[in-house]
Amino acid sequence: MSAHPEPLEISAGDTARWRKTIDSFAVDDLTTIHPVADGYALSYSFRSKEGTIDISATISGDDYLVNVAAATTAGWKAGVYTWDAYLTLGANRYKVDSGRFTILPNLATAGEIEGRTHARIMLDAIKAVLENRATSEIANYTYAGKSITKMTHGELVTAYSFWKSEVAREERAARVLNGEDAGRNVFVRFATPI
DSSP 144-190: TTEEGGGS-HHHHHHHHHHHHHHHHHHHHHHHHHTT---S-------
pLDDT reading at 62 higher than 70 = yes
Alpha carbons within 13 A on the beta-carbon side of 146? 10
Across the range 27-42, mean pLDDT stands at 87
The pLDDT value recorded for residue 1 is: 43
Mean pLDDT of the residues in the chain: 85
Domains of the chain: 9-104 (2.60.40.10), 118-177 (no CATH)
| 3-class secondary structure, 36 | helix
Distance of alpha carbon 80 from alpha carbon 86, whole angstroms: 20
In this predicted structure, what is the pLDDT of residue 108? 86
- Could you report the per-residue pLDDT of 69-88, keeping only the tens digit for each? 999 999 999 999 999 999 99
Return the higher-pLDDT residue of 192 and 141.
Answer: 192
Q: Would you say residue 145 has pLDDT above 80?
A: no
Q: Is the overall model pTM greater than 0.85, yes or no?
A: no
Measured at the alpha carbon of residue 80, what is the angle toward residues 78 and 86, in degrees to the nearest 5? 110
If you average pLDDT over residues 145-172, what whole number do you get? 83
